[in-house]
Amino acid sequence: MGLDVAFWILAVVGVTAALAVVLLGDVFRAALSLVLCFLAVAGIYLTLNADFLAVVQILVYVGAISVLIILAIMLTREVQRGSPSNRLRIPALFVAALFLVVVIYALLNTNWQISSVPPLEPTTPAIAGLLFGEGGFILPVEIAPILLLAAIIGAIVLVREK
């Protein structure tokens, strides 16, 4: 089935790109593989029938956040020093592997109540109804711009020349 093939290709690409982010020595190449990982995650959203979220992922992550990260890499001139590990490399590897094993064990031994209802096909109207409609998530929607405004002002204050 096409969806399964798409999932496996996107999963392999995404995990490989994520590994490249933490294993590559070159910071700039790590940032570029992070962009590839974001694109693979957008494809994963498409296989989950989340079309609106896939577009938002490409706009926000691939379009904006990756540009910010690459800009910060260029402004800090840390590219020559590469991306070394600290003294905690082995314990960190152990903690991450332990976390992975525990989570996979837990989720394989849980009896998920999977619904057989087919998913909504265009999700955009339903998401708009939930975000702005009666009894929806209108309060978080109102709080989110305050958070973004605070983040913008904070970023400007932090990087301003004294």
Q: Within positions 86 to 115, which residues make up the interface with another protein, using CB under 8 A?
A: 86-89, 91-93, 95-97, 99-100, 103-104, 107-108, 112-115
- Is residue 6 within 8 A of residue 47, CB to CB? The reply is yes
Residue 155 makes contact with another protein by CB under 8 A:
yes
- Is residue 37 within 8 A of residue 14, CB to CB? The reply is yes
Residue 139 makes contact with another protein by CB under 8 A:
no
Instruction: Count how many Cα atoms sit within 13 Å of the Cα of residue 127 in the half-sphere of its side chain.
Output: 11
Q: How far is the CB of 116 from another protein (least distance, A)?
A: 9
CA separation for the pair 22, 70 (Å, rounded): 16
Residue 44 makes contact with another protein by CB under 8 A:
yes
Total residues binding another protein (CB under 8 A): 88
Letters for 14-33 (x = contact with another protein by CB under 8 A, - = none) are xx--xx-xx----x--xx--
CA separation for the pair 13, 21 (Å, rounded): 12
